[in-house]
């Protein structure tokens, strides 16, 4: 077994590919003149000189040296210099070639989770190229977002969420549920409650049976904050006028309760003029049309601001239940089943402006794997 093969068996190096180069003493001195970042003076403080063994490199001593070196965070380069017989220098460079990941799914949004608690990833540099390849739906893992789990301030769990183009995303309700399931799956949580820091607020999460319950904070009902023209509650679209209830779940919503069946209503004809009516909704608006099945059961279709119909979304479902209660059709504190195009959500709200909206819905850990960098 050669030196490289021995290195690859070490626990300290699992997840790396080791590149080895043998250079002369003269070349080393030439490339590491005093004053450079890794000058001879600095490197000598972290060198292991082996003058007693006939082995080229003693693996046991190398491990001891590595463990001691790891404690020194200020002068720990990714390239190791080891002195040898005949004034030779071995340059050994760690190169990460595989990234452990977890795939998670929540109401047809899927996520690639990269856990930076994993020591193997401490030297990795994620790039837009790597992210785009990992998210590619034709050739690679297939995902809507990349999420990096981190330990931020005061040892609290947090995350950074990125779109496939490497731009940072602020928030996703579907991801929040997957986040809770992931922490439980990895054994990071000792109980079935936690909270998560997002860029806008802190959300509290808990596991109820097999469902993730999310405290969605209180709804915004003031017209000027939603925003909607003060007191305006009707909007014209094409050849009809619709009554609506405005609600914000940190994004604006227009909820219209229909008497006619959604299946017989021409949604595509009417939603866009409402969404883009900036004379009533200065920042445009998410448009919801709702059928009432019973006091605690509604069906809805959702059209997203700046986009098109969305199959499922947590804020729209929450906003519709709030509107349903505000219009005094629903008993407060009761749980409401919201039927979306493909899924059902369970939402509750106590009916007071300072009360949070509570959402329950499952999330799944799909599989784990390794992504190989080429």
pLDDT at 36: 44
313 assigned to active site: yes
Domain boundary among 42, 64, 96: 96
Answer for the pair 284, 356: CB distance below 8 angstroms, yes or no: no
Per-residue pLDDT of 322-352, as tens digits, reads 998 887 666 665 788 999 877 788 898 988 8
pLDDT at 359: 86
Domain that holds residue 182: 99-217+365-372
CA angle 338, 326, 336 (to 5 degrees): 20
Q: How far is CA 144 from CA 103, 164, 167, 240, 265, in A?
A: 11, 7, 12, 37, 31
Task: Tell me, yes or no, whether 26 lies in a domain.
Answer: yes
Answer for the pair 106, 363: CB distance below 8 angstroms, yes or no: yes
Which residues face 188 on adjacent strands? Answer: none
Measured CA to CA, the distance from residue 249 to residue 106 in angstroms comes to: 20
Sign of CA dihedral 190, 191, 192, 196: negative
Q: Are residues 92 and 103 in the same domain?
A: no
pLDDT at 31: 60
pLDDT at 50: 42
Q: Are residues 131 and 45 in the same domain?
A: no
> Tokens 């601001």 map to which residue?
305
Domain boundary among 96, 122, 151: 96
Q: Are residues 107 and 212 in the same domain?
A: yes
178 assigned to active site: no
Radius of gyration of the chain (CA): 28
pLDDT at 222: 94
Domain boundary among 76, 96, 116: 96
Give the list of residues 6+ apart from residue 340 with CB closer than 8 angstroms, or none.
300, 302, 311, 312, 313, 317
For the chain, which residues score pLDDT lower than 70? 1-94, 108, 119-120, 122-123, 151-156, 170-171, 173, 198-201, 311-312, 328-333
pLDDT at 309: 79
Q: What is the CATH number of the domain that holds 152?
A: 3.10.310.10
Count of domains in the chain?
Answer: 3
Task: Tell me, yes or no, whether 226 lies in a domain.
Answer: no
Active-site pick, 135, 178, 313, 318: 313
Question: Is the pTM of the predicted complex or chain greater than 0.85?
Answer: no
Q: Are residues 210 and 268 in the same domain?
A: no
Which residues face 79 on adjacent strands? Answer: 93
Answer for the pair 357, 288: CB distance below 8 angstroms, yes or no: no
pLDDT at 44: 40
pLDDT at 37: 42
Task: Tell me, yes or no, whether 223 lies in a domain.
Answer: no
Per-residue pLDDT of 96-118, as tens digits, reads 778 889 999 877 678 999 988 77
pLDDT at 245: 95
Task: Tell me, yes or no, whether 224 lies in a domain.
Answer: no
Measured CA to CA, the distance from residue 359 to residue 177 in angstroms comes to: 10
Active-site pick, 172, 178, 318, 366: 172
Answer for the pair 81, 57: CB distance below 8 angstroms, yes or no: no
pLDDT at 362: 80
Estimate to the nearest angstrom the gap between the alpha carbon of 57 and the chain centroid.
Answer: 43
CA angle 356, 362, 365 (to 5 degrees): 130
Measured CA to CA, the distance from residue 254 to residue 265 in angstroms comes to: 17
């Amino acid at each position: 077994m050669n030196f490289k093969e021995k290195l690859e068996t070490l626990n300290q190096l699992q997840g790396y590919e080791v590149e080895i180069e043998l250079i002369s003493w003269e070349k080393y001195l030439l490339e590491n003149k005093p004053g450079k970042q890794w000058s001879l003076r600095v490197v000598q403080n972290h060198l292991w000189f082996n003058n007693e063994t006939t082995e080229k490199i003693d693996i046991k001593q190398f491990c001891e040296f590595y463990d001691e070196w790891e404690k020194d965070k200020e002068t720990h380069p990714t390239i190791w210099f080891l002195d040898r017989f005949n004034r030779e220098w071995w340059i050994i460079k760690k190169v990460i070639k595989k990234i452990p990941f977890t795939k998670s799914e929540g109401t047809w949004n899927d996520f690639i989770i990269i856990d930076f608690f994993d020591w193997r990833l401490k030297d990795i540099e994620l790039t837009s190229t790597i992210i785009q390849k990992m998210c590619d739906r034709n050739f690679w893992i297939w995902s809507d977002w990349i999420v990096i789990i981190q330990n931020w301030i005061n040892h609290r769990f947090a995350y950074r969420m990125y779109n496939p183009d490497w731009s940072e995303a602020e928030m996703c309700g579907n991801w929040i549920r997957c986040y809770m399931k992931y922490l439980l799956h990895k054994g990071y949580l000792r109980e079935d409650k936690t909270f998560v820091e997002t860029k806008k607020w802190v959300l509290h999460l808990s596991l109820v049976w097999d469902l993730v319950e999310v405290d969605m904070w209180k709804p915004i009902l003031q017209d000027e904050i939603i925003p909607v023209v003060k007191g305006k509650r009707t909007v014209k679209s094409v050849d009809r006028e619709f009554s609506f209830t405005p609600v914000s779940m940190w994004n604006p919503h227009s909820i219209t309760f229909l008497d006619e069946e959604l299946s017989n209503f021409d949604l595509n004809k009417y939603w866009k003029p409402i969404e883009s009516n900036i004379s009533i909704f200065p920042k445009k608006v998410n448009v919801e049309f709702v059928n009432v099945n019973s006091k605690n059961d509604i069906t809805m279709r959702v059209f997203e601001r700046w986009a098109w119909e969305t199959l499922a979304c947590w804020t729209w479902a929450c906003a519709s239940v709030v509107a349903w209660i505000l219009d005094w059709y629903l008993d407060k504190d009761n749980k409401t089943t919201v039927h979306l195009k493909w899924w059902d959500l369970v939402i509750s709200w106590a009916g007071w402006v300072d009360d949070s909206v509570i959402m329950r819905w499952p999330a799944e850990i799909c599989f784990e794997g390794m992504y190989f960098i080429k």
